[in-house]
Amino acid sequence: MVSFEAPVSTLSCFGKCFKWSLYLFCVLFLFGGIAASGVGVWAIVHPTSFRIVILTNTRMYVFAAIILIGAGAAATLVSVLGCCGARYENRCLLVFFAVSMLLIFVAEFSAGVLSLAFYTQIETFASREMRDAVLLKYGQGNYIETTDAYNYMQQTFDCCGFEGDSHDAAQLYQASLWFDANYRIQVPPSCCTRNPNGEPINLAHCQSRFNTHLAFINNIGCKEAVKAQGIHFATVISAVGIGLAMLQLIGIVLAFCLFRRV
């Protein structure tokens, strides 16, 4: 009959210290793995995140989030095995735990670095894609996601067009394919300033071609909003990925220290 009782320990005082330190580490890291997976899911399903991916035309930090989800799930499972290895003082489980944690370390660190790469290049991605998105894709039937992404950003973050002020935004939209197909309306409704209830303050005046002072158009381009939000997501992913990776080194060291004393 298989017994699940822990064997009588022959560990020294230092050995017992390593054992219970590893046990505590595994319990804490189990929740860390769950948290890492949760952050990865958040970064993928958040509505702003999805629009940033569309407008920058890159999935770098989404790939980082996917890696973080997988690494977090693996860390949760491996933490359980680490607890078992510490409790039963099993050398095979301890080695498996340490090697697995090393692989997870590489994955989480890679997710953090990939997210940092997006952090440093987001302005380049936005500058490369967003202007052409207004001119050639906004309002076109084949680019529904791009239109939705711009509308969401313009309405949520009170911006309009690519960069500059309301005058620059109006000029950009007037040079777009959307302008020619929409009875020469100056800007889309999502560009109009809104009241606390979320309704345009003066839609007719906002969209009028004869609105020379542009008072009812959001007075900042969306590039900065996309950049700020992209940096926010990238910072969280990189902090979680690299932070947990660094903490895993403690678990690896504890596992090998306990292994030598079992």
pLDDT value at residue 113: 93
pTM: 0.83
Mean pLDDT of the chain: 86
Whole-Å CA distances, 106 to 49, 73, 167, 230, 244: 25, 14, 48, 24, 11
pLDDT value at residue 7: 52
pLDDT value at residue 11: 59
pLDDT value at residue 3: 44
Determine the Cα–Cα distance for residues 229 and 4; give it in Å rounded to an integer: 50
Provide CB contacts within 8 A for 153, sequence distance 6+.
Answer: 48, 51, 55, 159, 222, 225, 226
pLDDT value at residue 169: 87
Determine the Cα–Cα distance for residues 136 and 44; give it in Å rounded to an integer: 27
pLDDT value at residue 68: 93
Cβ neighbourhood burial of 62 (10 Å; 0-12, 13-18, 19+): buried
pLDDT value at residue 8: 47
Provide CB contacts within 8 A for 60, sequence distance 6+.
Answer: 114, 115, 117, 118, 121
Domain ranges (residues) in the chain: 13-120+229-261, 158-221
Residues of the chain with confidence (pLDDT) below 70: 1-12, 14-15, 184, 209-213, 261-262
